[in-house]
Amino acid sequence: MSVVDPVIADVNRRVDPLRSETWTAFRAAAARIAGVAGDATGADLPRARADAARALKAALTAELKADFDAGVPGDVVAARRAAAVDEALRQLLQGRDDVAVTGVGGYGRGLLAPFSDVDLLFLTRDDPKAARSAVETTLYVLWDAGLVVGNAAHDVAGAVAACKADVTTCTSYLDARLVAGDPRLHAAFSERYDAYRRRSAKRFTKEKLAEFRERRRDYDRAGRHLEPNLKEMRGGLRDIDTVGWIYRYLTGVDPWSADGLEDLVDAEEADRLKKARSHLWSVRGHLHDIVGRADDQVTFDLQPLLASRLGYADRRRAAAAERLMKHLRLNALTAARLVRVCLARLEERTAELAHWRPRGTPQPLRTDEMPGRVNVTMRTNRLDFLNKAEARRTPADLFRIFRARAKRPDLGLHPDAIELIASSARRLTDDVRGDAEIAELFLAMIERAREPLTVLQDMSECGLLGAYLPSLRRVTGQVEYGLYRRYSIEETIFRSIDAYAGLRYRDLAESHPIAASLLKRKARRRAALVAILLQETSWAVADRSTEHVERAARRIARRFLSDERQVADVAWCAARPDRLIVAAERRNIGADETILDFAADVGSVARLETLLVLTVCRHLVVSENRWNAWTRRQVGAMFFGARAALAGGAPALAAFRREEEAALVAALREAAPFWSAKEAQAYAARLVEVGASRLPARLLAQGASLLHGARNARPPVAVDVRAAADGFEAVVTAPDRTGLLADLAAGAGEAGVAVRLVHAMSLDGQALDFFVLSTPGAAAGAGGETDRSVVAARIEAAFRSRAANAERRAPRTAQRIGDRRALFDVTPKVEIDADAAPGRLLVEIEGRDRPGLLHDLAAAIADAGGSIGSAHIATYGERAVDVFYVTPIGEAERFREDVLQDIERRLMAVLSECG
């Protein structure tokens, strides 16, 4: 702990005067324990233990509060708390020479977070029963003082045998540190343990490396990247500890001493790793204190509190919580790189020589898109530079080794290569960034790689990617505070490029044939790839206006593309990465003006095709459950309609509509033979008009069947609910009336599902509403039910009850356990456009999502005299963006100005409710 010793010394000078007062009572109680321990009756021992426990709890609590009140860093708090427990154990075991108490695990390393376990090994002589009273007394006092104690009691031989039987125990005892009791027992154990350690180094290293790799795979699968676990995250405390464990096991030297690790990395890099470790420990100390328990998950609700504790403040471009999480991720990124270097070098020390026998460089790696032989060789089964001096002089070599890595993702980088790349990346110049051959190599690397994610992550860890693309360096580690995104900004880019590879080489081509077919042309591939690379440019510039972002993206795109038309297309798409999906989700794509306006905005088929590929790759990644079958259908409809409009204007779109309607009529005649051609034609025309024609054919046919059956039903109400791949699909028909949609929305809320999309239409006074529903787990980060048939039955019952009963009833909803939307603030907005659609009002609202929101919005519109023709529901984590197409109730053709103001006022009141 010498790294923080000067800091601890300064803290001691400021805080220890309080410590002397709070510990006086405990020392006196511990002395009484020693005085009564030899009493034959032991009558006073329980009282003495209880007194000591109360005093110790008070002392530890007061010291912890004093440390945090004084602004002591969290890692120093952990060191001081370990020292405080040391003091307690020494007082409790004063005068005992039949036992040795050693701290093991994290406590043995001299760090103890506020609510972490105190791991103890009691070493006894040949007869453990002789020390039983001392062990029990110590444990009772610690437990009653509120400490969580992990413990084992062995004689020396038993402790070593436990190490041989279990690698976790062996790891824990590696950090064994004498705290109190007989030093001879501890010395005997240390001697026996060290002898075993030297004999088992190869096995231990192999098992810890296997644990490390499995932990990384598990954490990547867990998916909570924006709420990281400080111990388990990539570059987290467990990764760093793995380096320390293996290093100490092989060398017997404390890795965190002043000159520790310097035989693996240079002093500057060792210091970086120690500082990253210190930062993680500091965050962990405050995290434990805030939650009042041992918890290492930095959840959204805790991030603002931690940021405040650690001195982060809001800035113009980033909230305090975002700044904290960026700093945390950057430290973890540094640690991840150095952990890889250290572990590779430690592995080399123990591996069989035959495993590292020299191998020739595979033939595919000897050439690439640049002229001349590639400066790459194989060393210890990893990629390294053949001539390191040349690599330092030739920046292109830094990229060529990653081109080789992209060809062979099973081959990692040698630690010497990682260090050389990291040091050289800091000196990258604008000439290198503007080099056309390097640009071609870089694009080829990510375009032709079947697994580009690991290559991009490696480049980022080494600092080369950020040095080559400064706009990317500015967003590295950046997060968006909220429930919408799954990954940090740069990780979103990396995984979108991986989705691009999935369209070209993996199974994504089967589920996204349109986008995959567009990538068969090289020009479209390149444009789409650069657009994906630049999709987060808005996060890297000071002025985030669309025009400024487009100019910035254009400057970068010129480095990779020579055709100015392609550059313009890429820059336009990069500045508007959500343009296509927003139009598809928030507008009635059955209206010609929607398609024509969107097509005019895009401007060309080439740009539209680039935007489609970007949309697919981005939204497969950006948010959990963001891309599903319904989204794919809506985006497809918008794409094909806009392509027709761009190819031939309004006449071509009209022809496309006629073909779409004819195909729909044919499908309906087949699925609903009870309808005449005229009835099917009228039904299909209404479906196209309200934008529902792209709903699944089975759903549309079921709507026809329900309408037909309801003619003779009393009351004429019918409901059908079926489970779908992404949630549930429902069709409801009932006599049309004001407020029906609001009532059905209330029913959905009561059934415990969220409305993702609804299309409402009316035929001859009979309403027909199509719903696409999702479980709250997909909508709000809460757990959902697994018995889908039960949920479907509940939805059907709620819809039937609401449709048959015209009496207005507020929904019976409550915030679900695990629903975290209320953690975030969303500024409410209401925009009303009276001219967006002929004869209809377009109302777009934005606010924080909550149970019952759709009901309240629909009811507000109905109460103001509006009838909702279709509703388009989009959720972005905690943020709801709902669009309604509204017509006046009664004879009026347009809304009066005072009615528009009333609608806006009512909707703002709904959005302002806490919910």
pLDDT confidence bin for 262, thresholds 50/70/90: confident
Place of tokens 């969303």: 826
**739 or 499: which carries more pLDDT confidence?**
499
Burial (CB < 10 A; 0-12, 13-18, 19+), residue 541, is middle
Range of weakest confidence among 1-10, 151-160, 388-397, 436-445: 1-10
SS3 869: strand
CB-facing half-sphere around the CA of 111: CA atoms within 13 A:
23
Q: How many residues does the chain have?
A: 915
SS3 622: coil
- The single-letter code of the amino acid at 437 is E
Q: Which residues pair with 155 in a beta bridge?
A: 124
Instruction: Please state the rounded mean pLDDT for residues 762-775.
Output: 83
Please report the sign of the dihedral spanned by the C-alpha atoms of residue 295, residue 297, residue 300, residue 302. Answer: positive
What percent of the chain shows pLDDT beyond 90? 54
pLDDT tens across 497-512, in order? 999 999 999 888 888 9
pLDDT tens across 418-434, in order? 999 999 999 999 999 99
- What are the tokens at 863? 């109460």
- Tell me which DSSP letter residue 823 carries: G
pLDDT confidence bin for 120, thresholds 50/70/90: very high
SS3 838: coil
Average pLDDT across the chain, whole number: 87
pLDDT value at 16 more than 70: no
Question: In whole angstroms, what is the distance from residue 656 CA to residue 781 CA?
Answer: 40
Long-range Cβ pairs for the range 102-108 (8 Å, 24+) = 102/176, 102/177, 102/178, 102/179, 102/186, 102/189, 103/175, 103/176, 103/177, 103/179, 104/172, 104/173, 104/175, 104/176, 104/177, 105/150, 105/172, 105/175, 106/175, 107/82, 108/172, 108/175, 108/176, 108/177
State the DSSP H helix or E strand holding residue 720, giving kind and residue range, or none if neither: strand 718-724
pLDDT value at 221 more than 80: no
For residue 545, the Cα-to-chain-centroid distance in whole angstroms is 26
- Cβ–Cβ < 8 Å for 854, 745: yes
Instruction: Please state the rounded mean pLDDT for residues 693-717.
Output: 80
pLDDT confidence bin for 4, thresholds 50/70/90: very low
Q: Which of 862, 751, 865 is nearest to 798 (CA)?
A: 751
**Residue 292 to residues 113, 270, 284: CA-CA distances in angstroms?**
11, 33, 12
**Residue 415 to residues 344, 345, 396, 422: CA-CA distances in angstroms?**
6, 7, 19, 11
pLDDT value at 357 more than 50: yes
**758 or 480: which carries more pLDDT confidence?**
480
**Strands laid side by side in the 177-181 sheet:** 149-155, 118-124, 99-103, 177-181
Place of tokens 């039903």: 713
Confidence at residue 785, expressed as pLDDT on a 0 to 100 scale: 47
Question: In whole angstroms, what is the distance from residue 813 CA to residue 809 CA?
Answer: 12
CA angle 328/332/334 to nearest 5° reads: 120
Confidence at residue 40, expressed as pLDDT on a 0 to 100 scale: 44
Q: Which of 841, 831, 720 is nearest to 773 (CA)?
A: 720
pLDDT value at 886 more than 80: yes
Q: Which residues pair with 767 in a beta bridge?
A: 734, 762
Instruction: Please state the rounded mean pLDDT for residues 84-88.
Output: 93
Confidence at residue 625, expressed as pLDDT on a 0 to 100 scale: 67
Specify the pTM.
0.87
Confidence at residue 38, expressed as pLDDT on a 0 to 100 scale: 56
What percent of the chain shows pLDDT beyond 70? 91
pLDDT tens across 818-866, in order? 567 777 888 999 999 888 777 788 899 999 988 788 889 999 998 898 8
Instruction: Please state the rounded mean pLDDT for residues 553-574.
Output: 96
Question: In whole angstroms, what is the distance from residue 464 CA to residue 468 CA?
Answer: 6
Burial (CB < 10 A; 0-12, 13-18, 19+), residue 713, is exposed
pLDDT tens across 138-154, in order? 999 999 999 999 999 99
Place of tokens 């056309």: 436
- The single-letter code of the amino acid at 316 is R
pLDDT confidence bin for 811, thresholds 50/70/90: low
pLDDT value at 98 more than 60: yes
pLDDT value at 781 more than 50: no
Question: In whole angstroms, what is the distance from residue 512 CA to residue 507 CA?
Answer: 9
